[in-house]
């Protein structure tokens, strides 16, 4: 799993690629929670994620809940078929805010 | 002569009051009629009847007539002239109220009516104070009440007191009868909720012997489409109509929701949410719900505050399963933020008994039956069919007690017959496997890896290529890979407790119908009953893996290893995915 972080229009963008599993999800979790501490809205771009397991889902849920408790925007963008399938299996596809493209996610967060 | 006339009139009043009380449920109108007759006899302008309230510290006007109606007026039990008469238990003539400091002129001031004189007599029987009758402002003659008037009022008051007491007793009697009728109705409701007996040799059977006073016991079971049987036994707190209604509600919720929520824990949580919303305060239901799978020989149960069910094995070994949740109807979220706990029990030919405390608290002679006595009765009947066995136990308890204090309700799930069938089938299967010479299923892959997160990538690649080779679609392959990954994660995190303590063996094979993935570890034995999927309504990190595995695979089985490796220590999880 690769993580790259950038900032666009006051929004932190985390782009993920590769496989998120028990081995890599602790790093993801740390990164997401660290960024939320910066008090900026967060968009997780997931177009290149080829695999995600329950520990990856758990990291996203924890980050989502932490962001929400601080009234910060948190959304997923351009989520690939494989991770979306896992979110659906967990019945969480309706819980997360999911945008088709990174641009939409950024502008939606800007408005907030 | 005049005296005789008076006496006849008095008798008439008394007789008619008694008659009216007996005939009418409307005590107030009887009071009023009686009061009017008394006042007419005494030539009084108005009158009132005061009764002490239940606590005896207030006097309430129950009937009043005259220019000003004061019925409903409530005063302290010692206030005013009425209070004084009631307290002293002695009648009084007050010829000029304006000279009496006790006189309360509030009503006069408000109404413009002028009370000049009052005649008041206490109501009571044998020292028990009931209240007082008063009449005001005599017409005619010298406009003054006489001692004869007082005597007459006192005589009438004494009779009225008796009539009032009689009426009160009659009301009590009616209430009692109403309650008895209510209990009969409740018993009817209870009976109507019990399911009809199934086949005589049905593995699931129930019995309920009602005590004279209805309790809130019920049981029910029905078959699911996949051949499993969903069953419940519950005990509603309290007795009578309210308990019967709550029981009816809970029973119909079980029937309705049970068909769409075939998970006992979630089902109890849903029933609880409904019951909490509407049930009256302080009422609750102890409830056990289970699902019996005759193909696997398992029951999956959830227990909300109910008496621990018992598993009695063929060899006589006994296990009990204490409740993991509070009773239904108390907390809005019965599982208190966690997924509702379920326990999966391997019956292995044994029988599972759910019962109410009427069983163990039933008396045999002078002695309470207790759990030990119950188990003994079960063993006594072990050669009879399930329904015969529990009916005999219930009858034994009923015959042994002079009067049943509580309902006796027992439900049994007996796996013996299904066990015999499974055994026969397995033997056939084993022979078949032997005869085709392959020694079992066709092996596809076997890897031995350390139980660490770093191994998962390799496990996934192997599982992926095996599923793809079986012809599974891309989506199905992804799902299988996820399930295998999650199962290995459970080994890494739970079986080895996060410490890298050993290896995992992943063995992938297929037969004509299925892809089979066996995951073997050598960690401490895991109690499969402690593993349960997460409640999906609950958004939070963690606990998802088991849900994924159950969702994706067609069959998930915990088995005791029998490969001889390390003395068969550790665990074996077998995941099966149908090729179709």
CATH code of the domain containing B71:
3.30.450.40
Interface check B377 vs A, CB under 8 A: no
A-chain CB neighbours of B493 within 8 Å are: 22
B274 within domain boundaries: yes
Give percent of chain B with pLDDT exceeding 90: 27
DSSP bridge pairs for B414: B351
Q: Please give the span between the terminal C-alpha atoms of chain B, in angstroms, as a whole number.
A: 112
Whether residue B385 contacts residue B391, with contact meaning beta carbons closer than 8 Å, is answered with no
| pLDDT at site B38 | 83
B282 within domain boundaries: yes
**What average pLDDT does this structure show over B346-352?**
92
Are B539 and A89 within 8 A, CB to CB? no
> Among B170-184, B320-334, B407-421, B522-536, where is mean pLDDT lowest?
B522-536
Residues B460 and B411 in one domain: no
Interface check B535 vs A, CB under 8 A: no
| pLDDT at site B22 | 60
A-chain CB neighbours of B541 within 8 Å are: 57-59, 61-62, 65
| pLDDT at site B535 | 54
- SS3 call for B548: helix
**What average pLDDT does this structure show over B265-270?**
94
- CA-CA distance, A108 to A94, in Å (whole number)? 17
Residue of A109, A42, A43, A51 whose CA lies nearest to A80: A51
Residue A7 has pLDDT above 70, yes or no: yes
Q: How distant, in Å, are the alpha carbons of B247, B282, B453 from that of B243?
A: 6, 11, 54
**What average pLDDT does this structure show over A25-47?**
94
The chain-wide mean pLDDT, for chain A, equals 91
Which of the residues A82, A89, A93, A94 would you substitute to probe the B interface, choosing the one with the greatest number of B C-beta atoms within 10 Å?
Answer: A89
Q: How confident is the model at residue B546 (pLDDT cuts 50, 70, 90)?
A: confident
The chain-wide mean pLDDT, for chain B, equals 83
pTM for the model: 0.46
Bridge-based pairing of strands B310-312 and B351-355 is: antiparallel
Residues B476 and B413 in one domain: no
- CA-CA distance, B173 to B442, in Å (whole number)? 81
- The residue range of the domain holding B525 is 441-578
Whether residue B550 contacts residue B533, with contact meaning beta carbons closer than 8 Å, is answered with yes
Q: Choose one of B388, B420, B452: the last residue of a domain.
A: B420
**What average pLDDT does this structure show over A94-100?**
91
CATH assignment at residue B311: 3.60.40.10
Residues B52 and B145 in one domain: yes
B254 within domain boundaries: yes
Residue B440 has pLDDT above 50, yes or no: no
Residues B369 and B507 in one domain: no
Question: What ipTM score was computed for the predicted complex, to two decimals?
Answer: 0.88
B291 within domain boundaries: yes
Tokens at B144, concatenated:
């003054």
Residues B168 and B199 in one domain: no
Are B482 and A89 within 8 A, CB to CB? yes
Closest chain A residue to B550 measured between Cα atoms? A89
Distance in Å, alpha carbon of A23 to nearest chain B alpha carbon: 5
- SS3 call for B545: helix
B160-180: b (≥16 Cβ within 10 Å) or e:
bbbbbbebeeeeeeeeeeeee
Residues B285 and B356 in one domain: yes
State the DSSP H helix or E strand holding residue B166, giving kind and residue range, or none if neither.
Answer: helix B147-193
* Structural domains for chain A: 2-111 (3.30.750.24)
Residue B80 CB neighbours (<10 A):
25
B3-39: b (≥16 Cβ within 10 Å) or e:
eeeeeeebeebbeebbebbeeeeebeebbbbbbbbbb
- CA-CA distance, B553 to A82, in Å (whole number)? 18
Q: How distant, in Å, are the alpha carbons of B135, B154, B384, B411 from that of B122?
A: 12, 7, 72, 62
- CA-CA distance, A42 to A14, in Å (whole number)? 7
Q: Choose one of B363, B388, B420: the last residue of a domain.
A: B420
- SS3 call for B251: helix
B183 within domain boundaries: no
Q: Choose one of B172, B203, B218: the last residue of a domain.
A: B172
- SS3 call for B208: strand
Residue B110, burial from CB neighbour count under 10 angstroms (0-12, 13-18, 19+): exposed
Residues B356 and B449 in one domain: no
* Number of Cβ pairs < 8 A linking chain A and chain B: 63
* DSSP track, B492-524: IIIISTTS---EEEEEEEE-SSEEEEEEEE-SS
| pLDDT at site A56 | 93
| pLDDT at site B437 | 34
With an 8 Å Cβ cutoff, the interface of chain A facing chain B consists of 19, 21-23, 51, 53-55, 57-59, 61-62, 65, 82, 85-86, 89-92, 95
Are A54 and B486 within 8 A, CB to CB? yes
- SS3 call for B282: coil
Are B489 and A57 within 8 A, CB to CB? no
CATH assignment at residue B510: 3.30.565.10
B271-282: b (≥16 Cβ within 10 Å) or e:
bbebbbeebeee
B10 within domain boundaries: yes
Residues B368 and B461 in one domain: no
> Among B95-104, B215-224, B440-449, B474-483, where is mean pLDDT lowest?
B440-449
Are B489 and A92 within 8 A, CB to CB? no
**Alpha-carbon torsion, ordered B544, B546, B547, B551, to 10 deg:** 140
Residues B415 and B448 in one domain: no
Name the domain count of chain B: 3
Give phi and psi for B574, each to the nearest 5: -115, 120
Residues B270 and B122 in one domain: no
C-alpha B402: how far from its chain's center? 26
Are B456 and A21 within 8 A, CB to CB? yes
- CA-CA distance, B25 to B27, in Å (whole number)? 6
| pLDDT at site B404 | 65
Residues B543 and B411 in one domain: no
Closest chain A residue to B539 measured between Cα atoms? A61
Interface check B338 vs A, CB under 8 A: no
Bridge-based pairing of strands B229-236 and A2-8 is: unpaired
| pLDDT at site B433 | 46
Which of B68-77, B189-198, B513-522 holds the top average pLDDT? Answer: B513-522
Q: How confident is the model at residue B427 (pLDDT cuts 50, 70, 90)?
A: low
Query: Given its phi and psi angles, is residue A58 left (phi above 0), alpha (psi -120 to 50 degrees) or beta?
Result: alpha
Residues B152 and B219 in one domain: no
- CA-CA distance, B464 to B171, in Å (whole number)? 80
């Amino acid at each position: 799993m690769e993580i790259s972080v950038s900032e666009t229009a006051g929004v932190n963008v985390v782009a993920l690629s590769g496989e998120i599993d028990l081995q890599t999800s602790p790093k993801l979790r740390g990164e997401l929670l660290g960024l939320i501490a910066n008090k900026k809205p967060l968009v997780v771009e997931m177009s290149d994620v080829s695999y995600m397991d329950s520990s990856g889902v758990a990291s996203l849920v924890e980050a989502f809940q932490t962001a929400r408790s601080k009234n910060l925007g948190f959304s997923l963008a351009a989520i690939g078929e494989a991770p979306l399938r896992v979110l659906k299996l967990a019945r969480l596809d309706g819980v997360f805010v999911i945008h088709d493209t990174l641009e939409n996610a950024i502008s939606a967060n800007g408005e907030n | 002569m005049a005296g005789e006339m008076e006496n006849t009139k008095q008798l008439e009043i008394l007789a008619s009051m008694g008659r009216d009380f007996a005939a009418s449920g409307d005590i107030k109108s009887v009071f009023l009629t009686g009061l009017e007759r008394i006042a007419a006899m005494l030539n009084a302008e108005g009158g009132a009847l005061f009764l002490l309230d239940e606590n005896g510290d207030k006097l309430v006007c129950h009937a009043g007539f005259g220019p000003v109606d004061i019925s409903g007026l409530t005063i302290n039990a010692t206030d005013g002239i009425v209070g004084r008469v009631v307290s002293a238990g002695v009648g009084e003539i007050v010829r000029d109220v304006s000279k009496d400091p006790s006189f309360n002129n509030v009503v006069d001031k408000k109404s413009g009516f002028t009370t000049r004189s009052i005649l008041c007599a206490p109501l009571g029987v044998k020292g028990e104070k009931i209240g007082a009758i008063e009449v005001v402002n005599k017409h005619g003659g010298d406009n003054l009440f006489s001692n004869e008037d007082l005597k007459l009022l006192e005589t009438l008051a004494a009779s009225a007191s008796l009539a009032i007491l009689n009426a009160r007793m009659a009301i009590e009697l009616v209430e009692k009868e109403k309650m008895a009728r209510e209990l009969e109705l409740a018993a009817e409701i209870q009976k109507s909720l019990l399911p009809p007996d199934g086949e005589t040799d049905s593995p699931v059977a129930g019995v309920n012997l009602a005590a004279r006073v209805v309790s809130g016991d019920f049981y029910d079971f029905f078959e699911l489409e996949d051949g499993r049987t969903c069953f419940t036994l519950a005990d509603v707190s309290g007795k009578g109509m309210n308990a019967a209604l709550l029981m009816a509600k809970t029973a119909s919720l079980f029937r309705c929701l049970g068909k769409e929520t075939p998970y006992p824990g979630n089902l109890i949580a849903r029933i609880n949410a409904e019951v909490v919303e509407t049930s009256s305060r302080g009422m609750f239901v102890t409830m056990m719900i289970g699902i019996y799978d005759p193909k696997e020989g398992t029951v999956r149960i959830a227990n909300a505050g109910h008496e621990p069910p018992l598993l009695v094995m063929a060899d006589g070994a006994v296990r009990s399963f204490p409740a993991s949740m509070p009773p239904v109807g108390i907390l809005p979220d019965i599982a208190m933020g966690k997924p509702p706990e379920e326990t999966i029990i391997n019956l292995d030919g044994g029988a599972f008994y759910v019962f109410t405390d009427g069983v163990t608290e039933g008396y045999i002679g002078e002695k309470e039956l207790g759990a030990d006595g119950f188990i003994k009765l079960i063993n006594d009947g072990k050669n009879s069919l399930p329904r015969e066995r529990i009916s005999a136990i219930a009858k034994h308890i009923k015959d042994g007690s002079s009067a049943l204090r509580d309902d006796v309700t027992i439900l049994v799930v007996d796996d013996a017959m299904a066990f015999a069938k499974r055994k026969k089938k397995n033997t056939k299967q084993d022979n078949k496997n032997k005869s085709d010479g392959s020694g079992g299923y066709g092996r596809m892959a076997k890897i031995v890896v350390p139980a660490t997160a770093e191994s998962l990538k390799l496990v996934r690649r192997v599982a992926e290529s095996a599923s793809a080779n079986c012809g599974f679609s891309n989506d199905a392959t992804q799902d299988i890979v996820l399930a295998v990954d999650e199962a290995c994660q459970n080994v890494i995190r739970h079986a080895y407790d996060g410490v890298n303590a050993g290896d995992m063996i992943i063995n992938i094979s297929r037969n004509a119908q299925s892809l089979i993935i066996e995951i073997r570890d050598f960690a401490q034995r895991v109690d499969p009953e402690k593993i349960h999927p997460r409640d999906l309504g609950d958004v939070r990190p963690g606990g998802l893996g088991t849900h994924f595995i159950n969702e994706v695979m067609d069959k998930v089985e915990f088995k005791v290893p029998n490969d001889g490796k390390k003395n068969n220590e550790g665990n074996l999880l077998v995941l099966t995915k149908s090729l179709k």
